[in-house]
Amino acid sequence: QPGLTRYGTAVGAPWEHHDFDREQMLQWLQGEQLAVKALFDSVLTADTEISQTLLPRPTASLTFKDVGFVVTKRDGERTTILEPCSGHFEPGQLVAIMGPSGCGKSTLLDMLANKKTAAYSGQILVNGHRRDKLFQRVAAYVGQEDVMPQHWTVREAVEFNASLKRPTLSNIPSEFSTRALDFLLAAFGLSGVSDTYIGGDKVRGCSGGQRRRVTLARGVSHLCPLLFADEPTSGLSATDAELCVKALRIITKKLSLLTLVVIHQPRVEVAQLFDSLVLLTASPGRMVYSGSMAGAVAYWKECGHPVPQFSNPTDVFLDLVTPGGISDHADEFAAAFKQRQSPAIQQEVEQKLQEQGLTVSQMLHHQHRVQVMAQMGPSKVRESSIAAPFGKQLWILFQRKKLITRRNRSAIMVPIVVPILLGCLLGIMYQGIGQKQLQQQVSFVFMLLMRICMGGMQLMPQLIDDRTVMKYDTSEALYSVPAFIIVGILVDITISLVGTLASTLIMYALSELSWNYFGMIMGWALMNFFVFDSFFAFLAASAPNVQTAQVSAIPFNSVFMMFSGFMITKASAPSFLRWVFNLSPLSYAIQSIFCRMAKDHMEDMQGPLLLNFYGFEEGMETQGFVVMLSMAIVFRILQVVCLQYRNNIQK
């Protein structure tokens, strides 16, 4: 009926007046009624063990005072994005942050969630205490991007976050963990696609709306007292958006979370699910309303702008506070807010600043005591922003890497199959070269080394994709950068070594070169492999994208190749450029191999002629080994530094 919601309650009526219960939730999740009811009853009501271990205890309030953001341009001009604003929210509240484009909605959320990388003003407190390094242990953030490995399944993606953010989950009986996970999937309407790949531009999988819900479920799976979501319904259909907010509503109330959501112009049924509304206007960003969602209509009427009957209140709100709009009254409402609401809010904030509850550390210790009493927790509380111990990070990351690599054909084809095919092709081209002149044999050695060195470039796109996922994961303190690097090195190098060894063996066998040289050539080939693999990993960590990484590799590869001692010999190179040979890993390998092969051809004079032509000297093996090992270590250190400090998410 006009003016009523689908459940027969007047538009704008308080949430408590809605005829909303558990059975209606089951109706929303059509096709999963029995499963959701069983999960809802067992996970959130009957199972004391789960309720005591999975539910966040204790809760957290959030207070912010005079929080604002100003951008200083290069010419020194200062632009105000968000004027100082204040507020206080209690546990169990579902808060909507709304406003026109450019009003600072996401900026405010990022500052409250401690995600803002630029400097901002104001105080933000949790339970009356300033945030510290442990804040991420009790807070979860859902951004606007859906960044996940494409070969993951929906269930694996949600379980990954739960296992790392709440490490005690692995100590809980598996049936409880599974049922809790099933509840989350059902609540967000993902049970039917739980075993479907996340998918993306390279892999078929979930729809865009389903991926958005997976991202939201991953954030909620932390079961943290504080949840921040930046436009979680963007890109969703009206039905999917309503499903997500309803799921957030139920979880927020049942688990006593404090959930803040940036949302853009929701429809009536969605808006009524929120307890509180923070409304901003733009140019500059200012607060024009902060209070209950149910009381917003009455407030607008008091300000002389009653909401027309049968209209969507949130549409009316935004029309009136959008600068430059048809019904622009932004300045009027900003002035009304300062007069009507701001004094009471400031008074409440000042009062809450004096009331101090548990610190984040005390909250974690309190939760730990509950888990110990239930005999499901670890022996002690980790005083770190990352919940999982380093060993567990390595194990879970290794399991993910192994699983995704096995499913991703290109992860096998590129480092194994492609080198083997190239090895066969080059082996056929140089077949029987071992029976020919020494000068022809050394050209085969050069080509063998070049194939091994350049193979690592093919892996850079995958390394950069993995880096993007890592940046989002580590921003949520799921695991550490060293854990990611160690697992990546172990898995990627192991796979690449298989292709390298196989292709080298094939090429060498077809060349009919003396097997007396095989061990030496293989040793230097592996040294070059490790150096160049480290170098390409460093470029992939430092470059902003794949194209830049590959373009940056070209000049370095050209220098390494030209000054390898084969294309440009030391004897013919200008004296002022001969020092560059010492920077090329290939030069040490080629010089050592050529000198060893020349020893066996001293009698027929091929050896002396070769050494004289290239200008090589014996006895450089030790120096070459030390230099190449040092280069590999330096490149790995640079990789770690770049992954830690470069290409971070800027907000």
pLDDT tens profile 402-452? 999 999 888 888 889 989 999 999 999 999 988 888 888 888 989 999 888
In a domain, 143, yes or no: no
> In this structure, what token pair is assigned to residue 594?
């050529």
In a domain, 4, yes or no: no
Q: Using a pLDDT cut of 70, give the percent of the chain over it.
A: 87
210 shares its domain with 230:
no
The DSSP-derived string for 220-252 is HTT--SEEEEESTTTT--HHHHHHHHHHHHHHH
In a domain, 8, yes or no: no
Nearest to 494 by CA among 505, 486, 504, 483: 486
Please report which confidence band the pLDDT of residue 314 belongs to, taking 50, 70 and 90 as the band edges. very high
Q: What is the largest CA-CA distance in the chain?
A: 107
What's the rounded Cα separation, in Å, for the pair 11 and 3?
A: 6
What's the rounded Cα separation, in Å, for the pair 498 and 496?
A: 5
> In this structure, what token pair is assigned to residue 631?
């280069």
Please report which confidence band the pLDDT of residue 373 belongs to, taking 50, 70 and 90 as the band edges. low
Task: Please identify, among 223, 241, 268, the residue that sits at the C-terminal boundary of a domain.
Answer: 223
218 shares its domain with 246:
no
Q: Are 84 and 68 in contact (CB under 8 A)?
A: yes
Q: What is the pLDDT of residue 201?
A: 83
Q: Are 179 and 384 in contact (CB under 8 A)?
A: no
User: Structural domain tally of the chain?
Assistant: 3
pLDDT at 153 over 90: yes
Half-sphere exposure of 21 (CA within 13 A, CB side): 2
3-state DSSP assignment of residue 574: coil
In a domain, 382, yes or no: no
536 shares its domain with 615:
yes
Please report which confidence band the pLDDT of residue 57 belongs to, taking 50, 70 and 90 as the band edges. low
Q: What is the pLDDT of residue 27?
A: 45
In a domain, 101, yes or no: yes
Q: Which domain range does residue 444 map to?
A: 390-645
61 shares its domain with 122:
yes
Q: What is the pLDDT of residue 623?
A: 84
In a domain, 318, yes or no: yes
Given the structure tokens 């921040």, which residue do they identify? 228
214 shares its domain with 252:
no
Task: Please identify, among 174, 202, 223, the residue that sits at the C-terminal boundary of a domain.
Answer: 223
577 shares its domain with 538:
yes
352 shares its domain with 479:
no
Q: What is the pLDDT of residue 173?
A: 56
Mean pLDDT of 515-536: 92
335 shares its domain with 415:
no
What's the rounded Cα separation, in Å, for the pair 427 and 460?
A: 26
122 shares its domain with 66:
yes
> In this structure, what token pair is assigned to residue 548?
């830049």
Instruction: Give the sign of the dihedral formed by CA 514, CA 448, CA 533, CA 631.
Output: positive
What's the rounded Cα separation, in Å, for the pair 603 and 290?
A: 94
326 shares its domain with 218:
no
Please report which confidence band the pLDDT of residue 576 belongs to, taking 50, 70 and 90 as the band edges. confident
In a domain, 144, yes or no: no
246 shares its domain with 343:
yes
476 shares its domain with 425:
yes
Task: Please identify, among 335, 370, 405, the residue that sits at the C-terminal boundary of a domain.
Answer: 370
Q: What is the pLDDT of residue 251?
A: 86
Q: What is the pLDDT of residue 346?
A: 94
In a domain, 376, yes or no: no
What's the rounded Cα separation, in Å, for the pair 445 and 585?
A: 14
CATH of the domain at 98: 3.40.50.300
**Nearest-5° Cα angle at 644, 643 to 649:** 85
Other C-beta atoms within 10 Å of 338: how many?
Answer: 13
Q: Provide the edge-to-edge strand list for the sheet that holds 276-281.
A: 139-142, 226-230, 258-262, 94-98, 276-281, 286-292
SS3 content of the chain, % helix, strand, coil (to 5): 60, 10, 30
Other C-beta atoms within 10 Å of 341: how many?
Answer: 16
pLDDT at 52 over 60: no
* Mean pLDDT score across all residues of the chain: 84
